[in-house]
Amino acid sequence: MSFLNHKNNQEHILPDVFTAVKHGVTARQVAEMYGIEVNSHGMACCPFHDDTHPSMKLDERYYCFGCHASGDTIDFVSNLFRIGKREAALKIAADFHMPYDPKGRPRRGQPVTPEQKKEWEIRQLQKDFREWRGKVLSDLNGDYRILTERAEQNAPTDRNTPFPQGFVQAYNDRTLVEFYIGLLETAPLETQINLYLHDRVAIAALDDRVNGRGQPRISVREKLEEKKNLLKAQRDGAVNQQKQRAAI
């Protein structure tokens, strides 16, 4: 095949597994896929060192502020499962159902076409949406039950006094919960995907409010500071013990 022909046919050629995976999913997506909890700031507890407060930032790539581990999607999976790069790429492609050319080799300077990238993004969006919809419907149905109970408990007993605050809040929240459930159960798919794209933060906030979960009280920076202090205290403790032992 001549170079020209090759170029003309480029969009019909599937990428090799490395290219497919690198362009198709982010480090954050693979981390979440393999059970690592990533918070709304894109931070997670680092799986590569003993981490109790999230010090790893995940996005397209990952970086740990604690142990300085960093890399791309494939590096992440390779290190997480202690497998080779190729094995990691094959695992990601299988788990994310990504199309690739099994005989393809990575070609420098010839990444995926915009059409391929778009197709992967749509595929990923649909997958994310389906997962989100299932979880959110179950959360919202739980919220509906909680709010019905709460509204009943706080129901006004006397028509001459104003509505108790708890009643108004529970009643309003329940109306909103009902509205979202209705959309997710009956609205056209496009409307549902729009809800996922634009309202999922508001829906999560509603669910948090109903369940009495507030915003995280301390920031990542404060958590890191806290962790540094803890480590320092442990080190000082160890030093003191050594001194005591030396004194005996």
Our finding on whether 67 is near Zn ion (CB under 5 A) is: yes
Contact predicate 37/46, CB 8 Å: no
Cβ closest to Zn ion, residue 64 vs residue 77:
64
User: What is the distance between the alpha carbons of residues 65 and 44, in angstroms, rounded to a whole number?
Assistant: 11
- 51: helix, strand or coil: coil
How many of the chain's residues bind Zn ion (CB under 5 A)? 7
Our finding on whether 58 is near Zn ion (CB under 5 A) is: no
Cβ closest to Zn ion, residue 28 vs residue 150:
28
User: What is the distance between the alpha carbons of residues 45 and 34, in angstroms, rounded to a whole number?
Assistant: 13
Give all strands (DSSP E) within the chain, no chain letters. Answer: 43-44, 56-58, 62-64, 70-71
CA dihedral angle for residue 39, residue 42, residue 45, residue 51, rounded to 10 degrees:
-130
In the complex, least distance from residue 54 CB atom to Zn ion, rounded to whole angstroms: 10
Find the part of the chain contacting Zn ion (CB under 5 A) among 60-68, 83-91, 210-218, 220-228.
60-68
Our finding on whether 64 is near Zn ion (CB under 5 A) is: yes
User: What is the distance between the alpha carbons of residues 200 and 125, in angstroms, rounded to a whole number?
Assistant: 14
Q: Kindly write out the interface string for residues 20-49 of this chain, putting x where it contacts Zn ion by CB under 5 A and - elsewhere.
A: --------------------------x-xx
In the complex, least distance from residue 62 CB atom to Zn ion, rounded to whole angstroms: 9
Cβ closest to Zn ion, residue 46 vs residue 98:
46
Binding site for Zn ion (CB under 5 A): 46, 48-49, 64, 66-67, 69
